[in-house]
Amino acid sequence: MGGNDLAGSLYDRILRALDTASESYHRLVLAVGAAGSGKTEALIELAGENGWPRLNVNLELSEQLLELTQKQRAVRVAAILGDMVRARISDVVMLDNIEMLFAINLAQDPLRLLQGLARNTTIVAAWPGHFDGNALTYAEPGHPEARRYLAPPAVVVMADDRGQSHGVEPRRGTA
C-alpha cells in the first residue's frame, strides 16, 4: 500500500482525499500536476491494489469518436464518456490522460464534465495542470485550450511541488 516515492505519497493523499470527496455532492478528486509528476503511477497503483478501473480517456474516447462527424463529436462526447464510466461498474473510477477533453473542437468544459460524472460515481482524475491553492489551471494563458477555474468544487491533491498537498473543501450543492 503506497510506497515512499512521490507516487506512493500521492497514493496515500488520494486515498485520504477519497474520504473527503465521499461526503460531497460531486465526488471528484483531482490529482493535479505537470507531466512526469507521478499522477499515472499513482492511479495505476490505486487501481491495482483496490480493484478500481483505470480509464485512459485519450485512447478510449478517441476510439469511440473516430467514426463520428465533428459536430456529432461535440454533441455526444459527454454521453460517450459517461457510458464508458458506467460500463466500469465500480464505485470509484480512475480517469487518466484527460487532455482530449480540453480540445477546442470538442467544445467541452472539462471540469463541468468531470463533475457530472462524479455525481453517481467517485471519480479520481489526473489533471494535467496546476493548482495554486485557489485557481485550477490547464495550459498557459493565451493558449487556445487554456482553462482557469477559481475555487473548483473538487478535492484537489497536488502531484508535484515536492509532494505538497493542497486540499480544497468541496462546496456542497454547487454545480
Helix (H) or strand (E) holding 19, with range, is helix 6-21
Domain around 99: 6-158
The CA distance from 117 to 123, in Å, is 7
What CATH code is carried by the domain that includes residue 143?
A: 3.40.50
Range 110-127 average pLDDT: 96
And the C-alpha cell for 39? 499522477
Total structural domains within the chain? 1
Evaluate whether residue 107 is within a structural domain. Answer: yes
**pLDDT by residue (tens digit) across 53-64?**
999 999 999 999
Tens digit of each residue's pLDDT (9 = 90 or more) over 9-25? 899 999 999 999 998 88
Query: Taking Cα atoms as reference points, which of 32, 5, 30 lies closest to residue 125?
Result: 30
CB-side exposure of 10: number of CA atoms within 13 Å?
30
pTM for the structure as a whole: 0.86
For residues 128 and 61, what is the distance between their CA atoms, to the nearest angstrom? Answer: 17
